[in-house]
Chains A and B, each alone.
Chain A
Amino acid sequence: MSRDLIVHLARFAGALRAGGVRVSTGDEVDALRALLLSDLGDPEDVRLSLRCSLKVRPRDERTFEALFARYWLGGEAPARARPAAEHGPGNPRPPPNPLGGEAPADGEREIEVPEGEELGSSREALLKRKHFDRCDERDLAEIERLMARLAERLATRKGRRLAPVHGRGRPDPRRSLRRALATGGEVISFARRDHPVETPRLVVICDTSGSMEAHGRFLLAFARSLKRVAKQTEVFAFNTELVRITQLLAGPEERVLGALSAAVPDWSGGTRIGESLEAFASRHLSELVDSRTVVVVFSDGLERGDPELLADALRRIQARARRLIWLNPLLSDPRYEPTARGMAAALPFVDELAPAHDLASLERLLPHLRS
């Protein structure tokens, strides 16, 4: 087995990681085994083998292809890789960052430590009532932690399988018979099983347009914490276009916001609520929303497009979902009446219109999310 090949593969995997592709050591082992079976003289064979064994998904394809061209076709071909002795097993030298930039090593995180201040209960209470648009960076870090705690209250993780229960439920032959052995094969009482309480299924659709900018980050943070506890949560962002961001939220903290603004076109731009919700209704409604799903829309309802379109989309979503909740940060203003064109059109199809301007208001939302 060629050591050069191993070193080269490890460098390539490192470069993929630096480029944001998740590659585990197990993937590298698979890739090496695949390479040993492949024809190393044939670049196409090497490319396809690597793509399959490193489990490259469509969204990572570009990064993979660019780095593949660099590492396996261009300058750093395996044959020309520097001799292994230079960085022997005991003394591995970090491979040169192929992207040229000074990207921090994977796993190295910037953790914001609030100076001297412990998260005390009075401060906590204050934060809960603090308007999102008046919070600064430091408040944000603390609020995100608070949110995670809030969302944990949702963590009533229960399966959908049949689980043993007392009393009512369907007969469970396996356990009944097992029990019957104790009484000489005579089934005296049936063991029963039933579906346990279901976990919440959520679909969160966030408005990230300019008018929502101050709130957008907090609401996304909330969506993120919800995602952590209720596994079946799907998150979308929209302003002029709808983008599914569930997978982006899974990354490490500091990378998420950057990835989001890259993925969502026109981040903090104008809004087309109607078209975005219509896009959601046509593309995702049938697969993501069923009668157990709660759909949450975060938006101020300042619609510039056709309110008819918005009303139609909401009607379709409401018909399928268990509940449709609309969170509107403007509601905190006592003078506000939901008369903005979009909001007025939306009202008949919304099960619940609630404020979302501070943490306390989000907290009140939690009971509605439990299905």
Chain B
Amino acid sequence: MRPEIRALQEAMAREGYIADDAIATALLLAGDLQKPLLVEGDAGVGKTEIAKVLARLRSTELIRLQCYEGLDVSTALYEWNYPRQMLRVRMAEREGQDATQMEQAVFGRSYLLERPLLRAISRREGPAVLLVDEVDRADEAFEAFLLEVLSDFQVTIPELGTIRAEHVPYVILTSNCTREIGDALRRRCLYLHVDHPSLEKEVAILTARVPGAKKALALQIGRFLRALRARRLMRRPGVAESIDWAQALVRLHVDELDLVSVRTTLGCIVKDRRDQHDLDEAELARLVAEARQEEALAS
């Protein structure tokens, strides 16, 4: 492995993010090639966290655009500050300015409200980290609109002209795969698929993120979740859930998984009525035994 990748992994680990080689390589490449990085994977595998950690590492601002259906230009890019424009027009009237002058004044930069995309591009202090979260939730027309911003890092505002990026931001797009992302957008990005972590990685994450968690407990949690994810569930718990669960268990001073503690804290990881119903006592006992049995074998 290249030393840069190792260094990046270590730096991310210091920020509490355990990145495997694939994640570190992708991040490094995205920075070097100045291309957006499209991160796909199940909910809760730590896609959004990548952007947050990156912003902390580069000690820069994290600009987040949460996508949803019907997201449009005025929420994503810019909007004119209408009340201020109105006031200005009224004042100009009183002073008797002519229309051309007034229009120039009213459609100036100072009357522009910057929304996330524009702010990421026009940031002067250095490249920002732009997180376009859950891009699969936005509709396809919005994807098409992202193309201009993400390939040329420029934005065209009819009243002002084209604004070019002062610094090319680090762009991270995440998708939960509820909808296939179009090829045009995909081609402009580098691609990273994040899977549920391996047991070792999950244990490393838990010990890094939950200060009170002992190695043994983290191992048991990791095994329990691995067994749980292998089942047919409506919602498969991600790393976010296992961190919550570890925190809950530590808070309750649980050092080892047992049926009672699992049953009472099940809401941290199984968040669906049907799934909870399917996991009856016998099934839970089996999962707990599985999580603990390997312990006995290992020692």
Contact = CB atoms under 8 A, between A and B. Distances in A.
Interface of A: 22, 24, 26-27, 30, 33-34, 37-39, 42, 44-45, 48-49, 51-58, 159-162, 173-174, 177, 180-181, 184-185, 231-232, 246-247, 282-283, 286-288
A42 B1 contact: yes
Interface string B215-238: 000000000000000001010000
Contact of B191 (A44, A45, A52, A180): A52
Contact of A53 (B29, B82, B89, B234): B29
A34 B99 contact: no
Interface in B166-220: 178-180, 183, 186-187, 189-193, 195
A344 to B, nearest CB: 26
Interface in B121-149: 139-141
B25 A52 contact: yes
B33 A177 contact: no
Given A49-B29, A57-B191, A161-B72, A44 B140 contact: no
B70 A161 contact: yes
Nearest to B83: A173
Contact of A52 (B22, B79, B80, B103): B22
Given A55-B191, A160-B70, A48 B92 contact: no
Contact of A48 (B21, B74, B179): B21
Contact of A247 (B26, B72, B180): B180
Contacts of A161: 70, 72, 141
B69 interface: yes
Contact of B187 (A34, A55, A181, A288): A55
Contacts of B191: 52, 54-57
Given A37-B32, A161-B141, A173-B82, A45 B22 contact: no
A220 B183 CA distance: 23
B85 interface: yes
B295 interface: no
Contacts of B141: 159-161
Given A30-B35, A39-B2, A53-B29, A177 B85 contact: yes
Given A49-B29, A52-B26, A161-B70, A30 B178 contact: no
Nearest to A185: B89
Contacts of B263: none
Interface of B is mostly: helix
Interface of A is mostly: helix
B249 interface: no
Nearest to A51: B22
A30 B72 CA distance: 30
Given A52-B192, A177-B86, A185 B178 contact: no
Given A39-B2, A162-B72, A247-B180, A181 B103 contact: yes
B5 interface: yes
A232 B136 CA distance: 12
A26 B151 CA distance: 12
B140 A55 contact: no
Given A161-B141, A181-B102, A232-B179, 7 more contacts: A30-B35, A39-B1, A42-B1, A54-B191, A161-B70, A177-B82, A185-B92
Contacts of A287: 178
Interface in B22-66: 22, 25-26, 29, 32-33, 35, 38, 40
Contacts of A44: 1, 21
Contacts of B21: 44, 48
Nearest to B24: A48
Contacts of B253: none
A185 B186 contact: no
Contacts of B38: 55
B109 interface: no
B93 A184 contact: yes
A37 B33 CA distance: 9
A181 B33 contact: no
Contacts of A283: 234
Nearest to B5: A45
B90 interface: yes
Interface in B65-101: 69-70, 72, 74, 79-80, 82, 85-86, 89-90, 92-93, 99
B93 A24 contact: no
Contacts of B14: none
Contacts of B99: 181, 184
29 contacts: A22-B183, A24-B187, A26-B187, A30-B33, A30-B190, A34-B190, A38-B2, A45-B25, A49-B25, A51-B22, A52-B22, A52-B25, A53-B29, A55-B186, A55-B187, A160-B141, A161-B70, A162-B72, A174-B82, A177-B80, A181-B99, A185-B89, A185-B90, A185-B92, A185-B93, A282-B232, A283-B234, A287-B178, A288-B178
Contacts of A173: 82
**Which one of B74, B186, B190 has the highest number of Cβ atoms from chain A below 10 Å of its Cβ?**
B190
Given A33-B33, A160-B139, A231-B140, A45 B2 contact: yes
B286 interface: no
A116 to B, nearest CB: 38
A246 B180 contact: yes
Nearest to B34: A33
Contacts of B139: 159-160
Nearest to A33: B33
B89 A180 contact: yes
A170 to B, nearest CB: 12
Which 9 interchain pairs have the tightest Cβ spacing? A185-B89, A55-B191, A48-B25, A52-B26, A287-B178, A173-B82, A39-B2, A161-B72, A160-B70
B176 to A, nearest CB: 8
Nearest to B21: A48
